[in-house]
Structure 1
Amino acid sequence: MPRRTATMLASTLMLIALLCAGVLIPVPYSEMSPGPTVNTLGDHGGEPVLQISGRRTYPTDGHLNMTTVRVTSADYRMNLVEAVYGWLAHDDKVVPHDTLYPDGKTEQQSTQENAEEFSQSQESAKVAALKELHVPVKSWVIVSTVVKGSPAEGKLHAGDVIKAVDGKAVTQPGDVAKLVTRHKPGQDVVFTVVPAKDQAAAEKANRTATTTRDITVRTAASHDEGPERAIVGISAGTDHTFPFKIDIKLADVGGPSAGLMFALGIYDKLTPGSLTGGTFVAGTGTIDDNGTVGPIGGIEMKTVGARDKGALYFLTPADNCAAAASDTPNGLTLVKVRTIGDALGALKDIREGHTSDLPRCAKS
């Protein structure tokens, strides 16, 4: 065999071997890409995303789109060729697997966590919108979760309303941890609660639950990072009663990042006129009960997805501005927001044509 032919054959075989290795060798990475974007003012899956009854609503137009990110599943093992392709692709992003699924989190665990965050974001969006409209909302502190195998398991239950700890009234979720950690590990702490089933019955009958129980739980020592402290194995949260019904119908979406856009959609439907003036506005951001907008992940994917669907303006959490501005899609204006009030002010400027007044994101 001529030397030139042998060299070419060897090179070809080497290339084939490298390609095979690239396909077969898994790498510890996952991929993010732009996901669907949904108009909170419109329909999805054949029904309105926002459904409000018991209160007058008003016609809307334009778009207030929430945005999403697609990610590879927890058990998907990317190979080297896919990772390289993802690194080179402009609209995709390859990140370490542990960034999306820390501590070996399974697909089921991640889905459950995202569902819980999505549910909480809906509640906070309702509260934030109604507070901005000065509509009273009743709220109380509840047991949000109970850790399996903890001292509280079997004694406290998710949904129990926490009225007091050691006789001291509780008004905020943070009060619970402060009162528990006043104890030393091994000491008893007394929770005064309205059991979840009694609270649910009272809400159904449109009355206030008055039956309380004192539950004694012996504290244990924490085993996480930081100094040792007393714990009982619960997390506290907030539940609400709204003066009318607000339903958010959107399946197959998780995480807390749609909170801002849900709140704006609710506000728009409950007020005369159009928030957007018919303009295509998209955005993202968590929101708390007080209307504070928080950062989210995958901002670069969300701006691409929004622009591809036709968005002209993108409401961007202030803490995500630098990352978003580093690679802004052509034709998309990034608007910096820190609160729902900021977002409402920006929308007013947009519909009135005062776009030069918009607080824009800038590169760091």
Structure 2
Amino acid sequence: MHEQEPHDSMVAHDKTSHESSGSKSLKKTSAGVIALLLVGVMMFLPTNFMIRSPGPVFNTLGKDEGKDVVSIDGAKTYASDSELDLLTVYVQGGGQNRVTIPVVLEALLNPTKDVVPEETIMAHSTSSEQQNQQNDMMMTSSQDLAIAAALTELGYDFKTWLTVADFSNELNSKLLKKGDRLLKYEGKSVSSLEQLKKALDANGDQPATLTVGRADKQGDYKNVDVAVQTQAAENGERQLGVFLGTEHKFPIGVKFGLSNVGGPSAGMMFALSIIDRLTEGSLAGKHHVAGTGEISADGTVGPIGGIAQKMVSARKSGATIFLAPAGNCNEVVGRVPEGLNVVKVSTLKEARSALEKIADGQDPSSFATCE
């Protein structure tokens, strides 16, 4: 019996070891399952990235859903054989529509897409609805600026006013109204933003008389004198505490029939289409041209987002010439699709001149490009 004890003891020990090994194995399996579950959950958590991909293309000299993309009243217009495409970008993510890690990984592997931090496109506090509203406002503004730039390029005269768009603080919020046209400051005509800034700085912290044109209920404007105050900004410049906008009164009517497209980047192509319609012949001959760029009233062409995706869309739509803002050249280099000639432009005048020369037979590849 004494000899049996070690044997019994050994049997008991072996059993204990077997149970301990099985328990550890179960724990490892459980930990692995939990880890996989956590990875699975993390894969579908929303991220703070947004994805740009190629979007639809619209010929500004054509139609969209049966409507002319650009139509003009009050002036003689001419048919054109050119195609002048504006380009769009699909944007995923941001706001309440955040994308998950698998979507981001797919975009990283797709050469036609770009993944960018959300804050490069929209503020974290901005909702998707607010962003859409901002894009709609920017589109409306770009259309107005496109008309101004085109008519300036063609030598038309039209009226322009600086207006009160909104208030940045309460300094003059009870004296001025949204939509007020700024006419005179201390008796001198307000002709431009730069001229107004100089006048505000020259007057310093003293009260001043601002004459505004204010619409009544019937829409008629009457001159009103307002005693306004200014305050110094961080850079020392005097400010009225308002956000300024621009209003134009054009001698012709221009309507835009494009729907479900926002943002400011169609400005240059809108302006070129207006020029084409108001001048005889075809601005780019029978060439298929695409392009992008913000436009200012004086014809300056500014950079935009998503130019790589827009070049992809341009080539797929059949364009062989692409007008790119000079400010986007660093994003153009190395991403130009085969068969697309990129022409670098800084102004509407440069863009118009390039297209006219191309229409006359000049080789598109001979123009300045992004290097």
Q: Deviations over 1:10-47 (max 9, x none)?
A: 99858844651342333221111112111100001211
Distance 1:93 1:86, change over 3 A: same
1:190 aligns with 2:209: yes
1:158 corresponds, among 178, 183, 187, to 178
- Unpaired runs of 5+ residues, structure 1, are 202-208
Supply the distance in 1 between the matched residues of 2:367 and 2:38 (Cα, whole angstroms): 50
Supply the distance in 2 between the matched residues of 1:249 and 1:356 (Cα, whole angstroms): 30
Supply the distance in 2 between the matched residues of 1:178 and 1:247 (Cα, whole angstroms): 36
Match of residue 130 from structure 2: 109
Supply the distance in 2 between the matched residues of 1:295 and 1:260 (Cα, whole angstroms): 11
Match of residue 141 from structure 1: 162
1:175 aligns with 2:214: no
Q: Identity rate of aligned residues, in percent?
A: 35
RMSD: 2.8
SS in 1 for 2:322: strand
The size of the alignment, in residue pairs, is: 347
Q: TM-score scaled by structure 2? A: 0.84
1:128 aligns with 2:139: no
Give the Å deviation of 1:116: 2.2
Supply the distance in 2 between the matched residues of 1:178 and 1:75 (Cα, whole angstroms): 43
Match of residue 48 from structure 2: 28
Range moving further from structure 2, 123-132 or 264-273:
123-132
SS in 2 for 1:37: strand
Give the Å deviation of 1:229: 5.2
Supply the distance in 2 between the matched residues of 1:11 and 1:38 (Cα, whole angstroms): 54
Q: Deviations over 1:172-231 (max 9, x none)?
A: 02333443345666x534321010348943xxxxxxx5x311112334564xxx345543
Give the Å deviation of 1:84: 1.7
Q: Deviations over 1:321-351 (max 9, x none)?
A: 2311221112111111111121112212322
Supply the distance in 1 between the matched residues of 2:207 and 2:129 (Cα, whole angstroms): 35
Asked whether the 8 Å contact 1:286–1:294 carries over to 2, the reply is yes
The equivalences for 1:346-357 within 5 A come to 346-355=354-363
Distance 1:217 1:199, change over 3 A: farther
Q: Deviations over 1:40-61 (max 9, x none)?
A: 0000121101111121111112
SS in 2 for 1:60: coil
1:240 aligns with 2:253: no
Supply the distance in 2 between the matched residues of 1:235 and 1:176 (Cα, whole angstroms): 13
Supply the distance in 1 between the matched residues of 2:287 and 2:143 (Cα, whole angstroms): 24
Q: Deviations over 1:105-130 (max 9, x none)?
A: 22233223222222221112112211
Asked whether the 8 Å contact 1:61–1:277 carries over to 2, the reply is yes
Asked whether the 8 Å contact 1:150–1:232 carries over to 2, the reply is no
SS in 2 for 1:131: helix
Supply the distance in 2 between the matched residues of 1:21 and 1:83 (Cα, whole angstroms): 15
SS in 2 for 1:109: helix
The equivalences for 1:305-320 within 5 A come to 305-320=313-328
Range moving further from structure 2, 269-278 or 67-76:
67-76
1:214 aligns with 2:196: no
The equivalences for 1:1-364 within 5 A come to 13=33, 16-17=36-37, 19-72=39-92, 73-102=94-123, 104-143=125-164, 145-147=165-167, 149-182=169-202, 188-197=207-216, 200-201=219-220, 211-220=222-231, 222=233, 226-227=234-235, 230-355=238-363, 358-363=366-371
Distance 1:140 1:227, change over 3 A: closer
Range moving further from structure 2, 146-155 or 327-336:
146-155
Supply the distance in 1 between the matched residues of 2:168 and 2:60 (Cα, whole angstroms): 37
Asked whether the 8 Å contact 1:41–1:61 carries over to 2, the reply is no
SS in 1 for 2:191: coil
Asked whether the 8 Å contact 2:47–2:100 carries over to 1, the reply is yes
Asked whether the 8 Å contact 1:160–1:199 carries over to 2, the reply is no
- Unpaired runs of 5+ residues, structure 2, are 1-20
Distance 1:22 1:86, change over 3 A: farther
Supply the distance in 1 between the matched residues of 2:364 and 2:103 (Cα, whole angstroms): 42
Q: TM-score scaled by structure 1? A: 0.86
Supply the distance in 2 between the matched residues of 1:132 and 1:52 (Cα, whole angstroms): 16
Give the Å deviation of 1:248: 1.5
Distance 1:111 1:152, change over 3 A: farther
Distance 1:196 1:254, change over 3 A: farther
Distance 1:106 1:188, change over 3 A: farther
Give the Å deviation of 1:103: 5.1
Q: Deviations over 1:261-304 (max 9, x none)?
A: 00110011111111122221100011111211111111111111
Distance 1:177 1:200, change over 3 A: farther
Q: Highest Rg: 1 or 2?
A: 2
SS in 1 for 2:344: strand
1:217 corresponds to which letter in structure 2? V
Q: Which runs of 4+ in 1 moved over 4 A?
A: 9-16, 181-185
Supply the distance in 1 between the matched residues of 2:79 and 2:32 (Cα, whole angstroms): 65
SS in 1 for 2:53: strand
